[in-house]
Amino acid sequence: MADKKRIALLGSTGSIGKQVLEVAEQLPDLLQVEVLAAYSNASLLIEQAIKFKPNVAVIVKDDLYEQVKEALWNYDIKVFAGEQALNDVVEMDCVDMVVSAIVGIAGLKPIYKAIEARKQIALANKETLVVAGDLMTQTAYENGVNIYPIDSEHSAIFQSLAGEFHNPIERIIITASGGPFRGKTADFLRTVTKAQALKHPNWSMGHKITIDSATLMNKGLEVIEAKWLFNTPLDKIEVVIHPQSIVHSLVEFQDGSIKAQLGLPDMKLPIQYALTYPYRCGNRLPRLHFSEHPHLTFEAPDLETFPCLNLAYRASRGGGCMPCVLNAANEMAVALFLHDKIGFYDIPRIIEDALTHADYSNPSSVDDYLAIDQDIKQTVLQSIK
């Protein structure tokens, strides 16, 4: 088997970040944590650093630097703070692979820097590919960098493609649980609260992606993510609702054969595959028994009640700045919903409004994308005041 892989984990204190560390803990002969980075959860970052003894710990919110530095003074761990530190640590010689478990566009620049520094990438942070998929995949291609998906649907597609790299994809079918509001009416959705939206039936995740799952925007973002990861046009990517979250996605080939990957809904499996590819390693994750899941069902998504999925297709077809506008408006709308400032249906309304009025020249650099992101977020914020 391969040498130990030395990883930089960005977003170590989040839902995905914590599960990456659980996987790393189980595979000490294969994985070594060299960098841990978090935004503001200093106490958890300190705890993780003491346990995993990385070379570097980064706290992005710089007023927490002293707290982290003081807690780790007795350990041989460097402590950095601030946004720029993220861009610097991904370039370090001691890092082979950068694992991005950051939520939102904050992951864009560090991942771009990591690709330029020719680090392998394990990506949970789908917003990065949604916003700048063209730039990211082109830069990865030029630098000989592979982007390994952590998102469970994309891991399933990637696993289904093993051994098929010379066979064209006829169709990608991305499964969606349908979220907490599957089968509900528009009237019901007009009155739902943040607490209801945060109750996902199958997955326990960070707040932003949980709201994205309730609006179906998460599936829209995943369609765009799949387009870039698997170099497949949008009209070959479909979404099917599969409430049990057992079939994680499917690929159809030219002969009509369909391959899928199945398993219990547990992110540690796709995380492990991304981190140990091309090897499959033993683990103690619970196994799937069909007798416990006798009904696997599939249905079409309700695009009228959940308009966000079509908004994502529209933005991706528009190209240029549009996916960045979609993502920025969604990030701001979700944040406002989580702060009880707007209702559930204001989320698609705000995004549609942003797409309709967007007028930017084609972005070509990370800074171009970040400028559009900031502009849209400001506009959305002002529009609700």
CA angle 334, 109, 354 (to 5 degrees): 35
- The binder of 327, among ligand NAD, Mg ion, none, by C-beta within 5 to 8 A per type, is none
Write out the two tokens for 170.
Answer: 């006829």
- The binder of 274, among Mg ion, ligand NAD, none, by C-beta within 5 to 8 A per type, is none
Contacts of 131 by beta carbon, 8 Å cutoff, 6+ apart: 105, 108, 323, 324, 327, 328, 369, 373
Are 195 and 208 contacting, i.e. CB atoms less than 8 angstroms apart?
no
Using the minimum distance from each CB to ligand NAD, give the nearer residue, 5 or 208: 208
**Contact with ligand NAD (CB under 6 A): which of 96, 151, 225, 373?**
151
**Contact with Mg ion (CB under 5 A): which of 151, 212, 225, 302?**
151
Nearest alpha-carbon partner for 107 in 90, 81, 127: 127
Residue 225 near ligand NAD by CB under 6 A: no
Residue 38 near ligand NAD by CB under 6 A: yes
Q: Which amino acid is at 131?
A: V
Using the minimum distance from each CB to ligand NAD, give the nearer residue, 203 or 313: 203
CB of residue 156 vs Mg ion: minimum separation in angstroms?
9
Using the minimum distance from each CB to Mg ion, give the nearer residue, 151 or 252: 151
Residue 103 near ligand NAD by CB under 6 A: yes
**Contact with ligand NAD (CB under 6 A): which of 64, 124, 217, 321?**
124
**Contact with ligand NAD (CB under 6 A): which of 34, 96, 127, 373?**
127
* Binding region for Mg ion (CB under 5 A) out of 41-49, 74-82, 150-158, 367-375: 150-158
Between 53 and 72, how does the x/- string for binding to ligand NAD read (CB under 6 A)? -------x------------
**Contact with ligand NAD (CB under 6 A): which of 48, 125, 249, 316?**
125
Gyration radius of the chain over CA positions: 20
Write out the two tokens for 375.
Answer: 């502009």
Q: Per-residue DSSP letters for 225-266?
A: HHHHHTT--GGGEEEEE-TT--EEEEEEETTS-EEEEE--S-
Between 49 and 68, how does the x/- string for binding to Mg ion read (CB under 5 A)? --------------------
Using the minimum distance from each CB to Mg ion, give the nearer residue, 153 or 252: 153
**Contact with ligand NAD (CB under 6 A): which of 5, 6, 7, 13?**
13
Torsion over CA: 108, 178, 15, 295 (sign): negative
Write out the two tokens for 272.
Answer: 């492990």
Q: Report the C-alpha gap between 379 and 94 in whole angstroms.
A: 41
Residue 205 near ligand NAD by CB under 6 A: yes
Question: Residue 36 belongs to what H/E stretch?
Answer: strand 31-38
Q: Report the C-alpha gap between 154 and 159 in whole angstroms.
A: 8
Q: Which residue is nearest to ligand NAD (CB)?
A: 14
Binding site for Mg ion (CB under 5 A): 151-153
